[in-house]
Every structure is written in C-alpha cells, then in structure tokens.
Structure 1
Amino acid sequence: MELYDLRVNHLCNPLGYEMNKTVFSWKVKNAVGKKQEAARIRIGELENFETLIMDTGFSKNLSSIASQVDVPLMPCKRYFWDVTVRTDKGEEAVSSVSWFETGKMDEAWHAEWITCDNQQKRHPIFKKKISLRGKVIRARLYICGLGLYEAFYENERIGEEYLTPYCNDYSEWVQYQTYDVTEMLQKEGMLSVLLGNGWYKGRFGFDNPSESGFYGDKWKLRAELSIEYEDGSKDIVGTDESWRVERSNLIFSEIYDGEHRDDTLPKLPEEAAIVCEAEKGKLTARLSTPVTVHEQIKPKELIVTPNGETVLDLGQEFTGIFSLQVKEEKGTKIHIQTGEILQNGNFYRDNLRTAKSEYVYISDGKEKNICPHFTFYGYRYVKIEGMEHLEKDDFTGLALYSEIPETGNVETGNSLVNQLISNIRWGMKSNFLDVPTDCPQRDERMGWTGDAQIFSAAATYLADTYSFYKKYLYDMACEQKTRGGKVPQVIPNFGKEGTSSVWGDAACIIPWNLYLFYGDQTILEEQFESMRSWVDYIRRTDQKNHCWRQEFHYGDWLALDHPTGGENGFLGGTDERFIADVSYAVSAGIVKKAAHILGLEKEEAEYGAVENAQYEWIQQEYYTATGKCCIRTQTAQLLTLKYHLSENEEEARKMLRILLDESDGKLRTGFVGTPLLCKVLSENEMDDLAYELLLNEEFPGWLYEVKLGATTIWERWNSLDKNGCISGTQMNSLNHYAAGAVAEWIFRYAAGINMDETDISKAGFKAVKFTPRLNQTLGYAKASYESAMGLYACAWEFEDETHVKVSVQVPFGGKAQLIIPEAEKSIFDNKENPMFADVRDGICYLTAGDYTVEYTIEKKPASYSIDTSMRKLLEQKEIKKFIGSMIPLETLPREFMPMSLRKLAVQFGGAQEEQLEQINEVLKKF
C-alpha cells in the first residue's frame, strides 16, 4: 500500500505559514485492507529522526483526514515528519518524509520599516550588498513590502509568487513571506526589492476614485535575511538606513489601470533609505497561498478588425498578466489594452467602466521580453498598438491564481455541458486570486461575500479550497471584531460598510462547508466567534420587532422575476424580507451545529432556541394555515423545500412545477435561488426538471451563454443578447462565478458523488451517497473527486436505450451507499457481484473498492398523460397535432400553457370521463 498527499494544516510542506495549531493529514491507496486500524506520527528535527520531538505511538484515535497534534514549536525552524499506518488486514506502511517550517513566530525582528521619497513617481528598488563569511548552509528571507513587492538576488527573481504580500485589511494585519534562498546565497551579491502600489497604496474600491491609497501613501519595506554558515555562525541583514534606493523604469502601477514602463529614462542618483513608522496592522506570518503562473496561453488568432486594430484572441478568458517579445526603435511607445469580447468584430472595453486595464511601454531600442509586475488583467482579447511587426507567437498569456490544487473532474456525453464545466472552472481560477473576487477585469475585483458563499461548495468539489478560504475567513473575522460582528458585504471592505443577509451569512456558511468537505473541526474552532458574532449582530438588529428584515437586503440578486426590474434589473421578485428571515434561521442553525461539534452545550442550546423561534416566526408570517407559501416565486418554493419551512411540501413541489411551466421550463432565479435550483429539484424527485434546466440552450440558461461563445460564467443571464451584443455596461461582467454553483449539482446528482449532510459524523467524506441520475440526452456522466478521505468516483453510461452501466469507486477508509438508478429489484439477486454483498431496502452498502454493474433499466410509466401540462405536451410535434384536432391551439392563451390537458379538455371541450380515458391511452403511446 501507499501513503500519499501528506499535509500539515492542509498544506504540502508549508514554509513560513502562521501555525497556531498543527493538524496532520494523509491518504492511503493500493491497500488490501479496507480501513485504517491505527496510525503513528513522528516529528523530528532531522530528516533521519535521530532527534524526535514527538512520537504519538500507534493510536486508533489518529484520523487520516485531520489529526491535531500539540507540538512545541520554535521560530524559524524546519521540522520533519512521517506517518505509519496499519490496516485492518495487518498491513503496515511508512510514508515518505515530509516537512514544515515555522516563521518568526514571536521572535523579534532585526529589521526596521524603511521608505523613500514618495513624491518621485518612479517606483523604488531598495537594495543591499550581501557579503558572506563562509559557506552558507541555510538562508531565509523574511520580507514584507507595501503596497506590493518583488525580490531579487543578483537580478534573479526570488520565488515564483506574484502580487505579494497580497490583499487584506492592512490596518488590522500585514503578512510577511518566507523564502528559502540557500542556493542563491552560495555567492556574494546584491539583494534588491522592487515595490509597487497595489491594493495598499493604489486606486482601489468604489470609494477611492483618485490615485491615493486606501490604506497608505508610502512605499514601505521590512526585510530580514538570515544566513547560517557551515561553521555554525550566523549573520542577520535587516532593513535599515544603510540600504540604498535606486529608481526603476516603472512610473505607474495600479490594480485597475495597469502599468507604465519607460526604458528611455535616465538613471538617477541613488538615495538613502529612510526609517519610517511601523504599519498599524500586526505583521504576521503568511496565510495566503501562493499566487503563481499556472498556465501559459498562446493566442489562437491575430485579427485586424474592421476598425483597423491589431487584436490577439487567446481563445480563453482568464486572469493574469502576459509576456511580450519586443524589438522596436528607441522611443517607440507600445500600448496594450485588454478586453473580454469583440463587438461588431472590433476591440471593446466599455464594460470595464473606469478601469484602463492597459500596459504602456516605451522602448530603449533593445530586444527584450516585457512582463507586468504589479497589476493583473481579466481578459481574452488584447489590442496592441505601436509594434511594427507583431507576430502571434510574440505574446503569451500568463494565468495567475492562488494555489488551489484540482480535486474534482466531471465529463458528460454533451459537449455543451462539458464546455459549461470548463467555463465554471475558469471562472473560479479567474476569481481566486488571493481573495474570492466577484470579477477580475473592471473597476471592482472585490471579495463580495455573497458570491463567495454561494459558490463555496461547487468550488470545493472542483479544487482544494481549504487554505484559500481559511485566509478569507480570517480577513472576515478581523473586519467583524471592529464592527460588533457585522460582516461587511466586501472582504476586505475597502470602505463598503453595508451588509446584507445571504452576503453576511458567508461567515457561517463557508466554514460549515469546509467542515463538511474536510472533516477538520479546526476551522470551526477558529471561526466560531466569527460565526456567533454574525448571528448576534442580527439578533441585536432584529430585537422584538423583527427589524432585521427591514434593513436593505440584496435578496435574490439579479433574478429575472422582479415586477418592474425585469431582465435588466437588479433585485429579484422574491420578498427580500422573507429571504432575510430564512437566512437568519439557517445561520443560527449552523452555529448550533458547530457548537455541538465543539462540545459547547450552552451555546448549542442558545442558538438552537434562536433557530426554532425564527422558523416559527417564518411559518406564521409567510405560510397559510394549509402550509402554502404566500410568495409565488421559484426561489420562495426552493427555500420552502430546502429548509422544510412548510408541513405541506407537496404543495410547494406542485407550485414549483407550475412556476417552471409558466416560464416555459426556464429559470427565473438569482443569487439565492440559482444555487438551490437543480439541487432541490433532484432532492424532491424532479430530475426531469433539473435536466431540462441544465440542457436548455435558450435564454435564460447556462448553455445559452455557452452557445454564444462564453469561456467563463457571466454575471447576468443576459450579459449578451442573442446577437452577441453587450446588453449593458453599468454592471456587466463576462467573468463571474456565482451562477457556476450548478457544478455542485452536477457532481452530486448528475454524476452522483453526493456528500451525506444529514450525518455530521461522516463529514470529510468519510461516507458518501452515490445518487447518479440518468438522462438519455446527456448520454453519460463520469466524475471523480479527490476528497479528504481519498478518491471517490462515479460513472454511468447508456450503452443503448435500455441498457446502462454504472461504476463507482470508494477509497481506503471510506464508505458509501449506492442507489442504482432505475433498476428492477431483481438486480439485487446477483450475489456474485460484490456490489450486492450488503443490500438493505434497495440500497447497496459499500466499503473501499471498485464496483461495476450493467443492467436493463426499469420500464418507466408513461411520460405523457392528460395530467401533463400543455407546455410539455406541445413540445412533441405529433402530440401537438393530435391535441390540435380537439382544441384550437392557435387561440389558446399563453397563460393556459401550465394547465393540464384534463383541465382544458373539460372546460373548453366538454369532454366526459370516458373520452378523457381514451385520450389518456393515446398519450401513453407517445
């Protein structure tokens, strides 16, 4: 057997991260045994474990998905560890050796904050000559530069990260990074640090239209180089007034507006660095995972537009920077602009609003490769002016995003759905740049909490998001501490002080999702105060008069059913007060469950009472005595079913079908309803409607934008009209991920890898429910998910119209329930197939292993009857012809389409029961 994916705090060999706790995890594959019987963790100061600082011994209590070990750690020190696992079959295997290294912890800095003349527009390069006294065996650079920094040794870049020290509320905390520079320091040389403006010092946020910084107005640097020699001695070089300042050729850098570089500028005299005041925020070890180049994207086409513009089409929208090979005459100005789409064949950027999103370069006449330092772009198209001879291959797009290792894959028999899945994944990559942003291209790029929580489950199927979200949640908790528990709608807030239900509920929903996916209660321990303080903020606002519901709420944002807003509006048609009340109850319930897991009995009772009281109020306020929801929208019915708000759920199911029929089988939902839509339909045995929504190629729907050439997810259902024209520029991004939340349903139901949320003891994918849902039009679906426990996989495929093959995989230590779709009961008699070794009530109970079955699907009842809606019946040409012989369809009002044929035949055709039965028999044959 093999042990793999060893992690500390969900990171692989973490260097210099904040480590208040140490949580170890690992996975096992290729074992004969089915589960772990015991495990042993060793931690040592040396790779050969000659000096152990911790040996747990073999223990049955060590969990492979999260074992918190109390380790006494020293600052600036590397530790080595391994794990040994014994299985229930007597196997034993030892992992390879992994490591983790602490940052400075509470150790004092031997470095001061330094700055320079900040009136000079040319960006500074702080530098220091490094002299060595012998052979270097260990060297570390601890560094933070504001607004952004890039460090070099002898002009060689240190590390592969961009946009360090990343984006957070700098008034609360500032991150430093740790770099292993041992190999670089085998010779003497110049240590230099280039600084840019970034989020700290540049133009950013809605409330900061000028170029002044939101958090600061000075370039600042603090760095400490620690050098250890072979003879045991040590040197520390820290920033102070002995450092020198050279001026770079960068004269402008902004997140929104891009970067300007002039290589014709004369060299200026060096300046002395100036010691300055420390940052207000606490300087701490990093939490942000690295932002690096992940893909290099070459242009698909070089276009000369009808307007005579030279434009490169990279074929894929993404977030990042670029490299461009240039060789132009001295003084030549090259102007590069980025955009998401062409309009009438021409370059277009009006939907970026005030963001210039450009790069300006003035050549010194030498051939070189240029690349931005301190900005990023969300783009597919690039307009280039000033280059005499541009070749397509001179340009390379560089996709930048945080370290979020891929965990989930889905493929289907429908090419449009496969493109949709790709679009969702690229939407996530594009917006997971340190902060889960709403969009990466216009003058926004902010960490909207609503978007983040809506997409969090889908994202965590697609990628390992634990560390990424952990940093965001830490940001959130910091903001709450100074606001009485209120969650700003944007994290970091950058002046956006407002809040809202659904948006603020990210404080509860995201950590809860992380717990469900990873089974590590550490995230609940770290975030419990944040979770509770959000609910307490609502309680204080709500008081006895339900004042919370009277505040501004975004509600079902960007839904299509508002009576006055329509397709181009903002607010949905579902009462925002209802959504606020439901969300309040949901968050209180999450706090109650988190308290239970953490053993906080008093808090569990307290927030359970809040949850129950809120649900009672909701039922009194929004439901009739017969359990009918008083709000007649798709989203209201979805919330009713999802959270069991009515004792008459059949009425909600019926109403949801009616509402979908009234909208011709199309969605009308926004931020609240869309993530629930297909999921709730499948949970309520309405897979036919879920697939109809997924496979709809018309507006509004996911495949509508795919057919119009989208390569990421749009902000609006109608971001483009049917002719490919931008529907508006006020708020219209072609790269948002919120509506991509449907990926969760694709994994859980279409493909069938469904987490069991009902039993929190199974969190971390200790067990799943395989619930694949067949669909002839889709043809097949196959998915895999590298969970905290290991690799789960589920696949189904129609071999012909009546024969299906289903395959599943359960990892070592995992368990699963499999509900074989549309199978006759006789299938369970095949005891030779290990899939049926343990069958209870038609459910196969599985342990680790691979399982496959081929079978004939059960004959379904007739698809059409006199109780089918007219909309569904008239979709079939032959049925339409048949019904047209009885009812004058040309005069049938559109609002009658959701009604059944039975109703209409009796009302307008005078049909008797015997005639209705004859019609019913005819319909059954179609």
Structure 2
Amino acid sequence: MKITSCKTNHIVNPLGYGMEQATISWIAEDTSSKKQLAAQIIVSQDAEMKTVIYDSGKTPELSSLAAELPVKLAPYTRYYWTVRVWGDDGDEAVSDVNWFETGKREDGWQANWITPEWEDKNIHPYMRKSFHINKKIKSARAYITGMGLYELEINGTRVGQERLTPYCNTYDAWVQYQTYDVTESLQEGNNAVGVLLGNGWAKGRFGTFGDLNTPYTDSFALLCELRITLEDGSVEVICSDSDWKCKPSPIIDDTIYNGEIYDATREIQGWSKAGFDDSDWEKVREFDAAGLGKVTDRLSLPVLVKETLKPVELIRTPAGELVIDMGQNMVGWLRIHIREPKGTQIKISHGEVLQDDNFYRDNLREAKAEYIYTSDGTDRVIEPHFAFYGFRYAKLEGFTEPVQIEDFTGCVVYSDLEQTGEIETSDPYVNRLFLNALWGQKGNFLDVPTDCPQRDERMGWTGDAQVFSGTASFNMDTYAFYVKFMQDVYEEQKFCDGMVASTVPTFSKMKGSESSFAGGGACAWGDCATVIPWEVYLHFGDKAILERQYESMKAWVDWIRRQDQQSGDHKLWTAGFHFGDWLALDGPIEGGVMGGTDNGLLASAYYRLSTNILSKTAKILGHTEDAAFYGALSEQIKSAIQDEFFTKNGRSAIQTQTAHVVALHFDLVQPEVRDRVLKDLQVLLKKSGMHLKTGFIGTPYLCRALSDNGDSESAYKLFFQEDYPSWLYEVMMGATTIWERWNSIMPDGKISGTGMNSLNHYAYGSIVEWMYRNMCGINPIEEAPGFRKFIIKPSVYGKLNYAKAKIKSAMGMIESGWTREEDGTLTINIAVPFHAEAVAYLPDADLLAVKGLEGLSASQDKDKVKVELPAGRYTFSYLPSRDYDMKYTIETSLQELLVTPETRKILEDALPLLLQAASGDMGFELPYSIGEAAQNADSFMFGMMFGEADLNLLNEKLMAVPVKLRTL
C-alpha cells in the first residue's frame, strides 16, 4: 500500500491560502486490501513530526475524501501532517510529510498601498526598495498584490513561476494577495525588492456590455510586505511605503484584449538588484484604495505555463504573410528566441483560423491580440509579461533575420489543475472530439471559467460554466478552482439582492437586482449558484463547498421565488430576461441567437432544479426546516410545470427537442408518462434527420436524456452524425477546440460570421460527460458522493470497436471500458479503487453466459447482469444477446445511405426519383428512412418515390454492403 495525492483543502502543500479550517484528503492505492479498517492523522509544528499538536488516534471514522483538522489556525504558521492507513488484508502505509502554511489571515497590514506620483496614469512603472539585513535569515515570506497585474523580483531574480497575478476576481468585494517563500532569494547584507506593474483585469480596458474602461481602478498600485524571520527569533518587516521609488518600465502599453507593446531599449539593467543606484528614481505616494474590497488570503490556483508546444509549420501565405501554425488552438503566448539588431520592431498577431489560406483575425472583433517588441540588439528569449492570446496561427512581421521555426515555442497557460480523466475509443475522430473539449477547458480555465479566451470578451459567463461543470469535473480536479469562482459568484450576489450575474466577475458598474441581459438573473446562467457546488460535491465528496456556498444557493433560489411572487405566485418562473436555449437552431430567426423553446418552461425547469438541489444540500448540512420547505416547494414547481406545459398523457405544449430533453433530464413529468415524452422526442429527432437543433440548455443533456431513458441507440446516432449540425462535423472541418456555433466554419471553409463566433468555446463540449457516463459507463451517485460508491453502466454501439475511460477520482483510479472482439465476444474491464465499491450493469448479457463472475454477487436485471463489485480489477466476457455489427437497411437514415457511395448507387438503381427528391427538386422533405415512409404507404410521397419497389430485395442489397468503421 502507498498513500498518494495528499492535499489540504484540495491543494498540494498550499501556501497562504484562505481557509476557515483545514481539511485534508488522500488516496490509498497499490494494495491487496479492499477496505480501510482505520486511519490516523498526526499534525505537528515541525517537519520531523516531533511537536505534535493533534493526533486522531487509530480510528475507523476518518474519510480519505475529507478529514477536518480540529486545529485552531494561527497566521504566518506552517503545519505538517501525515496520515497512516490500515487495510483489511493486514497491510498499512504512512504518507510522506505534507504541509500547509497560513497567510496573514486577519492580521492587519503594516504596508500601505503605493502608486507613482506621475500625472499620466498610463505610464507603466518599475517600483523598488533597497534594504539591509544584518542578521542570519531563518525564513522569509512575501505577501503581495498589485493593480492591475504584477511581477515580483528580489535581488534581480523573478520570484516564482506564477503568471498574471493577482488574478481575476470581484475587486470591489475582495482583493487577493499571494504569498511566496523568498527565503532563498534574500541574503544577509544588502537586498532589493522590485515589482513590475501592468494593466490587466482590474485596471485597463476590460469588460463587456460597452463598459470597457478601468473597471475597478485607473491607477497602478502596489501592496507588499516582506516578513523576514531571523535566526534569533526576531522578525523584520519590509513594507511598501513612501520610501519606495519608481521609474517608467519598458512596457509602453498592454491590455488583456490588445496585447503588449514592449521596448527593450528602455530596459534598465539590474533595476531590481541589491546595490543598484536608484538615486535618480522618482518618489511614490500612498494610494487611496477606497474603491477596492478587503485584501484577503488568496483562493486562486496558480496560473502557470502548464505545457509547451512546438509549431508544426512555417507558412508563406498567398498574401505573402509569414505565419506560424501551432497545430492546436491554444491559449498563452509564444516564447521566441530573437537575434534582431537594436531598434528592430517585430509584431506577432494572433488568430484562430486561416481564410483563403491567409492570416485572419476578424472574429476577434476589436481585440488586436498583438505582441509588439522592439529589440535592444541582444540575443535573447522573449515573451510577454501581462498578456495572453487564444490562437492557433501567429503572423510574424518585422523580422530582419531569417525566421527559423525552432526559435518558437508555444507556452500553454492555464490554472494549475490536475487532469484526472481520459477517454479513448477505436474511432480517431471521437478521440479528437474528446481532446477538443479538453483543450477548450485548458484554454478557458485561466483563473476564471471563461466563455472564450481570444476576442474582446473573455468573461466568466455563468451559463457556460454551469453546463460544463460536470464534464470539467470528470476531466480535471476542479474543487479548488470552483471554490474561488463560487466565492466571486456570492460576492456579486451581495451587490444584487441574491441575483446571480450573467458574467462573474461582472467588470461592470451596472449592478442591481433587476433581471436583464447586462445584469443577470437568467435561468441556467444564474443557476450556476446551485449546480456547480452540487456537481463539485458529487464528484469529490467534500461537503465543505456546500457549507461555503449555502447562503449563496439559498439567496439565488429566494431571488427566483420573489420573481414568481411578484408575478402571481404560480410556482413558475415566467418573468424577467432569459438567454434561454441560446444559439439553438430552432429559433424564430434563422441564424439568430434565441432558441425556439419557451423561456417560461426553461426557467421553471431550472427553478425546480435549483430548489431541489437546495433542499438536498440543506438536508446534508442539517438544516432540516430548509430541507423540508424547499423540498415541498420543488414538488409544487414540478406540479405547476405539468399543469402549464403538459397534458395529463404527457404531451408537451412545446414541440422542440430541448423542451422534451429538460422534461426527461430534470424529472418534470410523472413516471407513467416518461415513455410518451421519450417517444415524442424520438419523433422530433427523426423529423430533423437525427440531427440536433438544441442550444446551450438542451445540448448538454440531449444524449444523456436519451441514454438514461433506455435509448442509447438514438443518442449514438446523434453523436455520430458527421454533417452540420453535429459534434463530429467540427472535427471533420479540422477543429482542435469546440466552437461557439454549430456552423462557426462553413463546409467551404469560410467562417460563418464575425460578430459572435469563437472557435474555442467549451459549452458544447459538455457531450464529453455523456461519453464518460453513458458511452463508458462511469456514474457518481448522490448517496455516496466522491465515488465512494458508483455505478458502471456502459452502452455499446456498433460504430466503435472499443471505448474506455479512466478517472483518477477522489477515491483513486476508476476504469471502465468495453471491447467488441472479432469473434463477437464482448469484453468489459473495470477497476474499482481501494475502499470504494461499484454496481456494474453488463449490457445485453445472460447471467449464465458471463465469464468472470466467480465469487461476486450477481443477478439478472432484464437484459443486463447486475454485479456488486468491491475494490479490485475485473474482466467480464460473454457473447451479447444482440448483434452490435452495423448493417445498412431500409431503416438506416436516408442521409447516411445517400452519403455512402455503395448504398447511394443501390438507391439510384432501385429508386431513381429518390435522388431527385434528395436534391430538393420535388418540393418536400424526405422521410427519415425508407422504412418510415413505407409505414405510411398511402402517402403521395411514398407512392411517387417508391412505387412498386421491392423493399425486401432492396433491404437485402443494402445489408450486403459492409459498414466500414474508422479505427486508430
């Protein structure tokens, strides 16, 4: 046995993070044991674990998912801890020594905010202070924040690897500072601390809804304390104050949207080193930070260069441009080895796509997305300080030396999130789709879950964050990331009487409690307040996020209640502005943004969802009165929805795909009519040729609603569509991230528009949650969150030879995969981690025919075999009760038959008028399939197109054509 993944508040060895209490977690693995018999936690004040301040003793009560340490936390203090685990097979293990260190907590600041005295507030400053230490140093910490962004240097060396500090949050409610261990940076004797400041989220052009200038402050500002503990036990504090000095830096201009302009000829060599002569530097003054919130211990995970990419091609375009192709739409910047003469100005422009094989960036709208650098004549490696870009292609201008592709490296930048999930199938296009969603998450999880990372927006749209939160939490350990984001959500709610903003942070002065496009209060968007904490709890099993966010969740539901009460208290949500099924394809205006599903239904469905989540959360936290009240309200909303939008037999008043999807997925109808709702959804899908018409609300749940209600066949047919609109259409068109629109790029390669057309927009990547849950079968359950217990229920489909998923869950590694062998055998492989258990449902199986069940509790469950699985690895194999091999028949969609050359030729010979109808010459829509048309044989269409055709013979000819599957 070994103990791994030891974390405090879901972070490895956190330094200076905000924590009301410390909660630890770990994973036990590589053991023959199935269950944890007991565990023991020891907390000490020293790394040798000699000064013990807490010992839990050997106890069966400790959970590896979340064990709260009953230790009163002091400021500026490092705590060390270990955990020992005993297994039921007699083995045991003890972890390495882990630590966490508190920051200032509630201790006041001795430092003052400072700013340059310059009248021009756009001049970017160097700021520095020299100081002397005349004793031996034991340890030292820097506590620092700045407006808008800062980089810290001590004695000429940059401190840490974090980028874009102090990050992006609701600055008028709270301001984060960061803590750095600078013990090794300081020296006995002379020292100097230096800070470079730039624009960013708090200062500079940023925002949306037309409110784009200096959202929180118009001044560069710095707050810094160096707290130095000496060997004799004394403490010296070096503070930002009026003794600091400043000088203009080489940064001429920078903004999040436009990029950075840097003149290396203006650099001051050695500016942050000890002994530097700053006698001609200018004074600073104290800065009035009244418009900013309280300076608080950090919550943001570090933003880092998480990986690097090398370009795949250096292109000379038809227009004569020199363009680097990174081969992947990424977020970050280029690191460039430059050898240009002094005074040479180079410019790097960033874009997502080529048009007519030329560089293109019009879909970035007003964002210039440039890096302009003036060389000082030295051979060096350069990269921007305070800018990031969303791009695949970079246009290079101004180079006088021959450009060499090996001089360029793509720095991929995002929050320090551990990837925990992966999916692989036999189909390379499906694998690319998974990677597209993963890259979308990387690019948009840069401190805030943004909608897009490239154009003049990059905002934390709450709707996008909400619908993707389940997928995100399969792909990565999102707990700490979402803790910070949800803190911002609640801080914004306090300004708005409980209403949730459309974008968080809002970066807008238009804050209030009235629902509006610019303000907030929209269903699905505002419901991030309840859905995200619940998803995080479900995936990681630590209720601390529910405790943190309970008042936020309750404030949101109560805000909706007030909207209903003001509209007549019908237990429906029919008032206010809603984005609705955003960008759905069934709206009243072709190409418009508003979908065709009634917003009253969608808002009421989310009212029901959030109220139900709040009730369950209240029960978990012991708020029994709230649990009962909101539970009853949830049922009243459900009943009101049924009365308003459904007949007693289950027919929906709104005939859209999304209306039926939310009815099924949000449990809005009674069990006895679910089949009717499912059948009506199937009819709507067939009318669309098994193509989706859903938008931001319907799409995340479309395939799940089908599979969870027993129709994975239809879910797979939707999933495997390759023409517009579909997920794989994007892959076929060369996408390396998820698009904002289903037709962001047209079949001819032209971009469909520039007004709102991001090529890196993860919302529709939520299909990956269906891939984890239904394709591969891994499902967390509410009764045992954090995968303490879970369900394995895969769905097999003939267009795949295999599909498998791995998740490093909060309990350990989970695996679920299936393979269709050449002899027809189905093999299913499952791994259940230590101290967890699973219930597996083997599809299309006969209990007596399954190999691998020895010693396990198994039973027949209709067409599945149900197996109880303790921790361990399992392989099951059997001949399934149905043939998964794909065959063309008269029930196959006409669309698929017509795009397959062999079957199209058969139809041309047997049904010549069908091709004329397919070209649109006959003035009516084709049926979904020949078989469907044959069921209505007296129709004019059937008689005209099919006549006396022998459908049985046609079916035999179609079945004789082999179906070719893509493989790796």
Using the TM superposition, give the Cα deviation of residue 550 of structure 1 relative to its aligned residue in structure 2, in angstroms.
2.9
What amino acid does structure 1 have at the position aligned with 2:88? D
The Cα of 1:862 is off from its aligned counterpart by 11
Query: What is the rounded CA distance, in whole Å, between the counterparts of 1:550 and 1:485 in structure 2?
Result: 16
* Residues 865/723 of structure 1: CA separation in 2 closer, same or farther (3 Å cut): closer
1:770-791 deviation per Cα after TM superposition (whole angstroms, max 9, x unaligned): 1111122121111100111111
Q: Secondary structure at the match of 2:935?
A: helix
Partner of 2:581: 556
Tell me the SS of whatever aligns to 1:604. helix
Distance in 1 between residues matched to 2:14 and 2:837, nearest whole Å: 30
Show CA shifts across 1:467-520 (max 9, x none). Answer: 101100000000101211000100001124233101000100000001100111
Q: Superposed, which structure 2 residues align to 1:500-649 within 5 Å?
A: 500-543=522-565, 544=568, 548-564=573-589, 566=590, 568-647=591-670, 648-649=673-674
Counting only pairs closer than 5 Å after superposition, residues 158-197 of structure 1 correspond to structure 2 as 158-187=159-188, 188-197=190-199
CA distance in 1, matches of 2:854, 2:461: 48
The CA deviation string for residues 864-921 of structure 1, in whole angstroms up to 9 with x for no partner, is 999958748966976995898699645684254468245322556999xxx99x9679
Kindly state the Cα deviation for residue 446 of structure 1 after the two structures are TM-superposed.
0.2
1:710 equivalent to 2:710? Answer no
> Which of residues 803, 806, 812 in structure 2 aligns to 1:790?
812
SS across alignment from 2:11:
coil
- In 1, distance between residues paired with 2:299 and 2:785? 24
Which residue of the partner structure matches residue 513 of structure 2? none
Corresponding residue of 2:935: 903
Choose 346-355 or 608-617, whichever is displaced more: 608-617
Q: Per-residue CA shift, 1:616-664, capped at 9, x if unaligned?
A: 1111111113211111111111112112323311221111111111111
Q: Within 2, Cα distance between the matches of 1:667 and 1:446? A: 27
2:745 counterpart of 1:720: yes
**Distance of 2:666 and 2:599 partners within structure 1:** 17
Q: Indicate yes or no: 2:792 matched with 1:770.
A: yes
Q: Residue 633 of structure 2: SS of its match in structure 1?
A: helix
- Matched positions, count: 914
| Structure 1 residue 799, shift from structure 2 partner | 1.6
Residue 801 of structure 1, CA deviation:
5.8
Q: Name the structure 2 match of 1:499.
A: 521
1:221–1:688 distance in 2 versus 1, CA, 3 Å: same
Query: Could you tell me which residue of structure 2 aligns to residue 130 of structure 1?
Result: 131
For the 8 Å contact 1:453–1:503, the answer to whether it is kept is yes
Q: Quick check: 2:133–2:191 contact (8 Å CA) kept in 1?
A: no
Give the C-alpha shift of residue 17 in structure 1: 0.1
Aligned partner (choices 854, 861, 869) of residue 877 of structure 2: 854
- 1:319 is matched with which residue? 331
Distance in 2 (CA, whole Å) between partners of 1:621 and 1:416 is 42
Q: Does 1:305 align with 2:311?
A: no
Say which of 716, 719, 732 aligns to 1:694.
Answer: 719
Q: Which amino acid aligns with 1:8?
A: T
Distance 1:73 1:900, change over 3 A: same
Pairing partner for 2:423 from 410, 418, 439: 410
State the 1:751 CA deviation.
1.4
What amino acid sits opposite 2:358 in the alignment?
N
Q: What amino acid is the match of 2:849? A: I
Q: Which moved more, 1:676-685 or 1:453-462?
A: 676-685
Distance 2:908 2:358 in 1: 49
> Structure 1 pair 859/336, CA: closer, same or farther in 2 (3 Å)?
closer
* Rounded Cα–Cα distance in structure 1 between residues aligned with 2:833 and 2:746: 46
Distance 1:902 1:380 in 2: 49
TM-score (norm 2): 0.91
Q: 1:485 to 1:634 in 2, by over 3 A?
A: same
User: Which deviations, in whole Å up to 9, do the C-alpha atoms of 1:396-449 show, x marking residues without a partner?
Assistant: 111110011010011110001111111111100000000000000000000000
- SS in structure 2 opposite 1:20? coil
- Aligned match for 2:925, one of 889, 894, 897: 894
For residue 396 of structure 1, the aligned residue among 405, 409, 421 is: 409
The one of 197, 200, 214 aligned to 1:198: 200
**Paired AA for residue 605 in structure 1:** A
- 8 A Cα contact 2:7 2:24, kept in partner: yes
| Residue pairs, 1:93-104, within 5 angstroms | 93-104=93-104
Matched, 1:477 2:490: yes
8 Å Cα contact 1:887-1:909 kept in structure 2: no
Aligned-partner SS, 1:678: helix
Aligned residue runs from structure 1 range 124-523, under 5 A = 124-187=125-188, 188-207=190-209, 212-265=213-266, 269-279=280-290, 280-389=292-401, 390-495=403-508, 496-523=518-545
In the TM superposition, what whole-angstrom CA distance separates every residue of 1:232-277 from its partner, at most 9, and x where no partner exists? 2221111111111122111111000111112334869411121222
* Aligned partners of 2:792 and 2:816 also within 8 Å: yes
**Distance in 2 of aligned mates of 1:873 and 1:349:** 35
Equivalent residues of 1:581, 1:618 under 8 A apart: yes
**Contact 1:767/1:815 (<8 A) preserved:** yes
Q: Secondary structure at the match of 1:742?
A: helix
Aligned partners of 1:812, 1:661: CA distance in 2, in Å? 45
* Residues 1:867 and 1:305: Cα distance change in structure 2 (over 3 Å): closer
| In structure 1, distance between residues paired with 2:910 and 2:777 | 43
CA distance in 1, matches of 2:205, 2:106: 33
Q: In the TM superposition, what is the alpha-carbon distance from 1:42 to its structure 2 partner?
A: 0.7
What amino acid maps onto 1:184 in structure 2?
Answer: S
The one-letter code matched in structure 2 to 1:328 is E
What is the aligned partner in structure 1 of residue 963 from structure 2?
A: none
For residue 734 of structure 1, the aligned residue among 759, 764, 781 is: 759
Paired residue type of 2:98:
S
Residues 335 and 382 of structure 2 are in contact (CA less than 8 Å); yes or no, is this contact kept in structure 1? Answer: yes
Percent of paired sites with the same residue: 44
Alignment RMSD: 2.5
Q: Does the aligned pair in 1 maintain the 2:799–2:886 contact within 8 Å?
A: no
| TM-score (norm: length of structure 1) | 0.95
CA deviation string 1:163-217 (max 9, x = no partner): 100111111000010000111113543210111111111100124566x411001
CA separation of 1:802/1:883 partners in 2, compared to 1, >3 Å: closer, same or farther?
farther
Alpha-carbon spacing, 1:51–1:499, altered in 2? closer, same or farther (3 Å): same
Q: Is the 8 A contact 1:866 1:919 kept in 2?
A: no
> Which stretch shifts more, 260-269 or 463-472?
260-269
Distance 1:617 1:242 in 2: 67
8 Å CA contact 1:864–1:873 kept in 2: the answer is: no
What is the DSSP-based 3-state SS (H/G/I as helix, E as strand, rest coil) of the residue aligned with 1:397?
Answer: strand
**Contact residue 351 and residue 730 of structure 1 kept, 8 A:** yes
Once the two structures are overlaid, the 10-residue window that deviates more, 16-25 or 180-189, is 180-189
Contact 1:261 1:361 in 2 (8 A): yes
Deviates more, 1:327-336 or 1:17-26: 327-336
What's the counterpart of residue 962 of structure 2? none
Q: Letter of the aligned partner of 1:494 in structure 2? A: F
**Distance in 2, Cα, partners of 1:391 & 1:159:** 30
Cα distance, 1:231 vs. partner? 2.5
- Which one-letter code corresponds to 2:282 in the other structure? E
CA distance in 1, matches of 2:183, 2:245: 23
* SS in structure 2 at match of 1:323: strand
Query: Aligned pair 1:32/2:15, yes or no?
Result: no
Partner of 2:836: 814
- Give the Cα–Cα distance (whole angstroms) in 2 for the partners of residues 153 and 848 of structure 1: 50
The CA distance in 2 between the partners of 1:135 and 1:744, in whole Å, is: 55
Structure 2, unaligned stretches of length 5 or more?
269-277, 509-517, 960-968
Quickly say closer, same or farther: Cα 1:146–1:266, change in 2 above 3 A: closer
Gaps of 5+ in 1: none
Q: Distance in 2 between matches of 1:215 and 1:765?
A: 42
